[in-house]
């Protein structure tokens, strides 16, 4: 009985489920946006970092908006999640994006230095680690839509 109540309480947590749904839907959409970009349909796109839309942005915006809906914009919960969202989205399109751009350059230099000696190259650096501002914006819009849509679905709105 205690376990069942815990499970019901967990899945009844509107704020948490909104954030998880935001992440999941963004990752699921990457299958299709990745296929449009690479012209190949791969389920592996769902498990990638970077890409369109930003699942980081979708997650933190769904969390933030769900807190605003449930607790109000004057609550400390909303304040914490709003600051978190700003930091995460700035990082996703700033530091992490630049890291990916640097990885592209390092990989190109490595390929040129070791051309013809492929046994000396183990693996390249991961290039898709961040997001463009547009990808972050689309993730944020998705997160807002998820929190509002799920809010209507479960009677929060």
Residue with tokens 């948490």: 16
Q: Over the stretch 129-148, which tens digit does the pLDDT of each residue have?
A: 667 889 999 999 999 999 99
Q: Return the pLDDT at 26.
A: 95
Phi, psi of 79 (to 5 degrees): -60, -45
Angle subtended at Cα 71 by Cα 90 and Cα 78, rounded to the nearest 5 degrees: 20
Q: Which of 104, 90, 11, 105 shows the shortest CA–CA distance to 54?
A: 90
Cβ-contact 66, 151 below 8 angstroms: yes
User: Is-above-0.85 flag for pTM?
Assistant: no
Q: For 29-61, b where at least 16 C-beta lie within 10 A, e where not — what string?
A: bbbebbeeeeeeeeeebbebbbbbbbbbbbbbb
Q: Over the stretch 3-56, which tens digit does the pLDDT of each residue have?
A: 888 888 888 899 999 999 999 999 999 888 877 777 777 676 667 777 789 999
């Amino acid at each position: 009985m205690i376990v069942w109540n815990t499970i019901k309480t967990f899945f009844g947590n509107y704020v948490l489920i909104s954030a998880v749904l935001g992440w999941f839907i963004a990752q699921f959409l990457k299958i299709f946006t990745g296929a449009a970009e690479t012209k190949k349909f791969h389920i592996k796109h769902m498990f990638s970092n970077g890409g369109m839309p930003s699942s980081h942005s979708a997650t933190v915006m769904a969390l933030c908006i769900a807190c605003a809906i449930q607790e109000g914009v004057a609550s400390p919960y909303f304040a914490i999640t709003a600051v978190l969202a700003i930091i995460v989205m700035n990082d996703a399109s700033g530091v992490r994006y630049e890291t990916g751009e640097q990885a592209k350059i390092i990989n190109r230099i490595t390929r040129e230095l070791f051309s013809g000696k492929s046994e000396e190259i183990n693996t390249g650096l991961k290039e898709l680690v961040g997001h463009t501002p547009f990808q972050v914006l689309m993730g944020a819009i998705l997160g807002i839509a998820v929190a509002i849509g799920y809010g209507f679905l479960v009677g929060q709105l």
